[in-house]
Amino acid sequence: MTKAKTSPFDPIQIGPLELHNRFIKSGANENMSKNGRPTKAMVKHHTDLALGGVGLTTVAYLAVTEVGRTLEDQIWLRREVLPDLQALTDSVHAAGAAISAQITHGGSFVTGLRVKGRTISASSGINAAGLLKGNILQRAMNEEDMQRVVDEFVAGAELCREAGFDAVELHMGHGYLLNQFISPLSNKRKDQYGGSAENRVRFPARVLAAVKQAVGKDLAVIAKINVADGVRGGATAEDGCITAQALEAAGADLLVLSGGRNVESTWFTFGSNMNLEEIKKVLKGQWLSTAMLSIAAKSAPKVTFKPMYFWEYSSKVRAASRVPMAYLGGLRSIEGTQQALDAGFDCVVMARPLIHDPGLVNKFKSAELTESGCTNCNACVAYIYHSDGTRCILNPPNDTSLNHIAASAN
């Protein structure tokens, strides 16, 4: 008997969490937080996605400690923010979806604020990502640092459970702290945490195992990893396979497969070049930041967007491990969604198409649309740095009246 195809609209069990379909909104920095707390704009953003049909929406970048932020207004997890997080999770649940907290630590990748002392990382040296804010040097983490960070991730995950989240996603890609161990671009250690791909993933796997032990009975524990860094000297798809195997052994319920690094290869992450003109508009007056981004953009290879641009890399990682995996990278159509599921991926993950149209999943289901109207212009990426939050420039501007703390009476 021929096995029936998995439908994108079939439910799925991810650890203790059941999703009503296979569509996940990727964590993508919303910039809809103020003073480290979510705003009503963030609540609306994720509620609209839930109403639009996603099974799981991901709240981007909740730092596990104040010094783990990369941007000044980013949410950092502490008890006083609980009412705001609960307002967010309650609204998404009422709209019919599950909600995941992307928890992470920037390490040396701190681009928007000054950190006292040296930033922490896998290795010591010059911190290229921190130069704009004076975070010039980084130091290699020792065992005391590692245990402190493990404890911070555990405490952050426990707070997310209390706030009503259904899952936590540990961000291990794109150049943040856990990726600074995984990637040979950052990790120059000579001890048991450096050298081979097996050694480089040792600390991130340790963090995940501790989080799993602490909250795994109640929350799905997800990890976002790179299938490759996309540049010479960086992690390869073969390294990605080893990372997946180690995280499977550590207890991951799902891996979200991404790629690229925030400094070295944004073009690889997005499958196309940054929208420099829109970045200049958003950063008007910030001449040094604009100059640095312009230099980086001009040094990047010219890349033309193509659908499913991580397919070759992700397929290798998919074949290397039995842990559930979600495909991300250039997915724009119901056809591409079915392609991923037919190839053994368990879920699909999108950001830009859902920023363009939060109702896309429902439109796929009703057959109103078979393909996203996203033009892949990457203008929305620039709005990570805009005070009104990320948006698609093909849509009306965000409602600035919602730029208040989520649980406030105003």
The set of catalytic residues is: 176
- Which is nearest to 171 in space by CA: 159, 185, 156, 188? 156
Strands 125-126, 137-140: pairing kind: antiparallel
- Could you list the beta-strand ranges (E) of 32-97: 33-34, 37-38, 56-63
Q: Cα separations (Å) of 321 from 174, 238, 314, 338, 344?
A: 21, 12, 11, 21, 11
Cβ count within 10 A of residue 47: 22
DSSP 64-95: SSGGG-SSTTS-B--GGGHHHHHHHHHHHHHT
Residue 24 DSSP SS3: strand
Helix-then-strand count for the chain, H and E: 15, 15
For the chain, the residue count is 410
**Pairwise CA distance, residues 119 & 134, whole Å:** 11
**Pairwise CA distance, residues 353 & 375, whole Å:** 9
**Pairwise CA distance, residues 200 & 192, whole Å:** 8
The answer to whether the beta carbons of residues 364 and 21 sit under 8 Å apart is no
**Pairwise CA distance, residues 181 & 176, whole Å:** 9
The alpha carbon of residue 28 and the mean position of all alpha carbons in its chain are separated, in whole angstroms, by: 6
- Which is nearest to 160 in space by CA: 96, 84, 230? 84
- Which is nearest to 225 in space by CA: 111, 319, 105, 328? 328
Asked whether the CA dihedral 316, 343, 171, 294 is positive or negative, the reply is positive
The answer to whether the beta carbons of residues 143 and 75 sit under 8 Å apart is no
**Pairwise CA distance, residues 25 & 103, whole Å:** 15
Q: Which residue has the tokens 């209390």?
A: 162
Amino acid at 22: R
